[in-house]
Amino acid sequence: MREPTRALRQEQTLQAPGDVRLARLTPVDEIDIKSAQVGLIGVGNMGQALLVALLKAGADASKINFAVRRSERNHEIEERYGIKAASVEEMAASSDVLMIIVKPQDLESIMERVAPSLKPGSLVISFLAGKKIATVEAGLGNPAVARVMPNTPTLLGVGMSIVSYGKAVRPDQRRYVSDFLAAAGKSIEVAEELQDAATATSGSGPAYFFAFVEAMVAGAVTMGIDEATATTLVIQTIVGAAKMLDETGKSATTLRENVTSPKGVTYEGLKVFGEGDLAGLVARAMKAAADRSRDLA
Ligand SMILES: NC(=O)c1ccc[n+]([C@@H]2O[C@H](COP(=O)([O-])OP(=O)(O)OC[C@H]3O[C@@H](n4cnc5c(N)ncnc54)[C@H](OP(=O)(O)O)[C@@H]3O)[C@@H](O)[C@H]2O)c1
């Protein structure tokens, strides 16, 4: 295991004679996946997917605590993942990394409980749709804050996460976030102003593709194929198309053009998409999702 290294943290600014401000620097331990004490607030759908990723990344289960709202779930989570339940207040005081994975409307009440005891130098990771870094910083006394928007394929380790960092986040804390998210799939850092647009892209994206699959299955059924067969045809088609996009290095445009000969079968199908302004419809849907994400701030 890597030896813990030290970083300097500005703990306090002292007023000196002559109005010169001196920073008193104290050492804090750098964190990494194996050594960090972690607190998870919320272990629902997304919380469980992230917990699985954290364990896969190499975190020590004995260093992870969690809190959920319904105490009857504690035993089930403890049994399944080998981690221990604790109070929000205890985790705030002891965690190097505090992950908030509750619904956006629960953030205020959680911050009121976390703020009084938050461990100095800790990293807070918010996974809440729409909530700004500045809101979490202001609610918790300006700690280091990372804002992450994952998506549901995180459940299978093939998620896409978007991450933005507050000013106080240290390099070792950034490394922690990217090591952790690598076990959940891919991650990309974006400027926070782009979080709503990116949420409307990869956060909501799986549901768009699910809706497209539903529409294609319905289209096949209308033409006389039974639903089970139609579902197999469509799912294997989307899986194959996704694999081609991921593995051939060719763009979506090239791959589409490769299977579209003028006046051919696919050409006729795609022509109807064009006439119905598929691109405009998708752009409007994504804008509506981004606007909603902005509303949640
Ligand atoms: N699901 C997605 O596709 C997705 C994608 C990207 C981001 N997100 C974000 O992830 C967050 C969580 O979503 P989710 O789908 O995982 O929700 P969820 O399944 O409803 O889980 C919420 C979790 O928070 C816990 N909780 C609520 N209030 C609490 C409190 N006061 N103290 C401790 N724990 C509390 C709940 O406890 P109980 O288990 O006892 O109910 C539950 O474990 C949301 O902010 C969402 O924006 C979700």
The pTM for the full model equals 0.87
pLDDT of residue 172: 97
In whole angstroms, what is the distance from residue 186 CA to residue 237 CA?
Answer: 23
Chain CA centroid to CA 281, Å: 26
Mutate to test the pocket of ligand 1, among 43, 46, 110 (most ligand atoms within 8 A of CB): 46
**Residue 145 bridge partners (DSSP):** 124
Report the nearest atom of ligand 1 relative to the CA of 206.
3
Report the candidate in 51, 43, 120, 40 with the shortest Cα–Cα distance to residue 87.
40
3-state class (DSSP) for residue 261: coil
CA distance 92 to 50: 19
Distance from Cα 104 to the centre of ligand 1, integer Å: 8
Q: Whose CA is nearest to atom 18 of ligand 1?
A: 44
CB 73 within 8 Å of CB 97:
no
Q: How far is the CA of 103 from the centre of ligand 1 (A)?
A: 5
Q: At what angle do helices 107-114 and 133-140 cross, to 10 degrees?
A: 40
Paired tokens of 125: 């990771």
| Per-residue pLDDT, 1 | 40
**H or E, element range at 125:** strand 123-126
In the prediction, which pLDDT does 28 show?
A: 64
What's the token pair of residue 193?
Answer: 């102003």
The burial class, CB within 10 Å (0-12 / 13-18 / 19+), for 268 is exposed
Q: How far is the CA of 127 from the centre of ligand 1 (A)?
A: 9
Is the Cα torsion angle 219, 225, 226, 230 positive or negative in sign?
negative
Distance 210 CA to ligand 1 centre (A): 22
Residue 90 host element (H or E): helix 88-94
Pocket lined around ligand 1, Cβ cut-off 6 Å:
41-47, 67-70, 73, 88, 101-104, 106, 109-110, 127-129, 149-152, 203
Closest atom, ligand 1, to C-alpha of 199: 6
**What are the two backbone dihedrals, phi and then psi, of residue 159, each rounded to the nearest 5 degrees?**
-75, 170
Ligand 1 centroid from CA 131, angstroms: 14
Q: Letter for the amino acid at 295?
A: D
φ, ψ for residue 4 (rounded to 5)?
A: -65, 135
Domains and CATH numbers, the chain: 6-193 (3.40.50.720), 203-295 (1.10.3730.10)
Select from 109, 104, 125, 140 the least CA-distant residue to 50. Answer: 125
* Integer Cα distance of 270 and 268 in angstroms: 6
How far apart are the C-alpha atoms of 197 and 294, rounded to whole Å?
9
Ranges of residues in the chain whose predicted pLDDT is under 70: 1-28
